[in-house]
Amino acid sequence: MKITELRLRELTGTLHHEGEFWEERLTRPIDVYPEHRAEREGFWMPRRVDDGVSRVVSVFLEVDTDEGVTGLAGPIPHEVAYLIDQQFRRLVTGEDPLATERVWDKMYRDAVHGRKGTPMMAISAIDCALWDLRGKWSGLPVHRLLGGPVRETIPAYASALGYSLEPEKVRRQAQRFKDEGYTATKWFPRWGPTDGREGIARTVELAATLREALGPDVDFMLDAWMSWDVPYTVKMSERLEEFAPRWLEEPVMPDLVAQCAEIRRRSRLPIATGEHEYTRWGLKLLMDAGAAEVLQPDTYWAGGISELVKICAVASTYNLPVIPHGHSVPANIQLSAALPIPACPFVEYLVKWNELLQFFFREPVRPVNGAVTVPTGPGMGVELDPAKIEAERLLGWADQPTLTVSTPA
């Protein structure tokens, strides 16, 4: 069997929802600049069409073979689709799709200047598509191919990205999560060091509101999204200790490994990080530094299923749990179902984000009573729903022109 085509499909559909879909954004490292801190919208938000109506535009990768089996991955950003088309298409076409280690290694060696960031995200998408293809070819779900299942359901925690941070709305939504059976929920403070004492007070208020609404038996976590620093995080850990968050997440920029390790040593609360790190080599730097109690690589960013298996194996030698970042619940649930429970104890479920990421799936993977049931269909267990596709176009970019340099006479 050979790979014959990599197809990039941009799909458009309409999402109907109650009220404003995206109520609040998180703090970002670039918010140290006032003009960016004042921005209301972000690239991740859906395109509002009317009250209660938003436009969803998603790109999916399909890998075709000469035996008629197709693997699916996505959604992926347009810049990732561009690199798949321009850099990796030539390497992958003609390869055996079941030889995932060979294909991954070829892409990694070719992308020597892209070991992180968008090129690695492109490698991850192709790898996930090949695992989906392998499952469909064999008639088995990916977790079976990886050695599972270890369990049939996995607890999920509700990530509240996009929800309002107004105290009364926080209280109501946290109570909804609790009533829906979640045993943990993660929230995203909008404030950081540049917000001074007011930012500290509002983050403390958020934590107090969550603990009051959730009671003592439901966990909550706070995600700083790389926007804090060492003094601020240590101070926040002291102020937040009485509310017992399960962890503080990604307090500093990803390259500040030593600072993250210092925070972990000085913090009164556990530290989680790794969402914006890549490959087993990048995650091992965090492990060697003692920078976290919980590791959070993203399956669609850090190298795909092939690489996440390796990351989890390395993490097991440090006795550290891996809870993959929630960009792709279908891929994450397949991985987690094949590993020992302590290795992947939770699945992250970004509630609003998954309305967008899984919008075009016929049967989205969603928690029930706070837990996700592992899909048993072949591959990743999801497929596109033609009824949700209102418009479609194939993406492709012509080869870039060769740069010619003229030498003066």
Q: By percentage, how much of the chain surpasses pLDDT 90?
A: 91
For residues 8 and 47, which has the higher predicted lDDT (pLDDT)? 8
- What does the pLDDT read at residue 47? 81
Q: pLDDT tens for residues 253-266?
A: 999 999 999 999 99
Q: Provide the sign of the torsion angle of the four alpha carbons 368, 373, 376, 380, taken in this order.
A: positive
Look at residue 250 and tell me whether its pLDDT is greater than 70: yes
H or E segment and range at residue 178 = helix 167-179
- What does the pLDDT read at residue 46? 77
- What does the pLDDT read at residue 363? 96
Look at residue 399 and tell me whether its pLDDT is greater than 70: no
Q: Provide the sign of the torsion angle of the four alpha carbons 303, 41, 72, 97, taken in this order.
A: negative
- What does the pLDDT read at residue 406? 44
In the predicted model, what is the mean pLDDT of residues 189-213?
96
As given in the structure block, the two tokens for residue 104 are: 């991954």
Look at residue 275 and tell me whether its pLDDT is greater than 80: yes
Residue 240 to residues 88, 200, 355, Cα–Cα distance (Å): 46, 10, 31
Task: Give me the residue spans of the domains in the chain.
Answer: 3-139, 144-382
In the predicted model, what is the mean pLDDT of residues 369-376?
97
As given in the structure block, the two tokens for residue 285 are: 């730097």
pLDDT band of residue 40 (cuts 50, 70, 90) is confident
> CA 31 to CA 49: how far, in whole Å?
27
Q: Do 3-139 and 144-382 fold alike per CATH?
A: no
Please give the CATH number for the structural domain made up of 3-139: 3.30.390.10
- What burial letters (b/e) apply to 170-197, b meaning 16+ CB within 10 Å? beebbeebbeeebbbbbbbbbbbbebee
Non-local (6+) Cβ contacts of 20 within 8 A are none
As given in the structure block, the two tokens for residue 306 are: 């092939």
DSSP one-letter string for 79-122: HHHHHIIIIIHHHHTTS-TT-HHHHHHHHHHHTTT-SSSHHHHH
pLDDT band of residue 402 (cuts 50, 70, 90) is very low
In the predicted model, what is the mean pLDDT of residues 41-57?
82
Q: pLDDT tens for residues 211-231?
A: 999 999 999 999 999 999 999
- What does the pLDDT read at residue 316? 98
- What does the pLDDT read at residue 400? 53
pLDDT band of residue 49 (cuts 50, 70, 90) is confident
Q: By percentage, how much of the chain surpasses pLDDT 70?
A: 96
Q: What angle do CA 58, 60, 64 make, to 5 degrees?
A: 160
- What does the pLDDT read at residue 407? 44
Task: Provide the mean pLDDT of the chain.
Answer: 95
> CA 392 to CA 263: how far, in whole Å?
47
Please give the CATH number for the structural domain made up of 144-382: 3.20.20.120
- 16 catalytic, yes or no? no
Q: Provide the sign of the torsion angle of the four alpha carbons 316, 318, 319, 324, taken in this order.
A: negative
**Active-site choice (143, 276, 325, 327):** 325
- What does the pLDDT read at residue 39? 86
pTM of this prediction? 0.95
Look at residue 405 and tell me whether its pLDDT is greater than 70: no
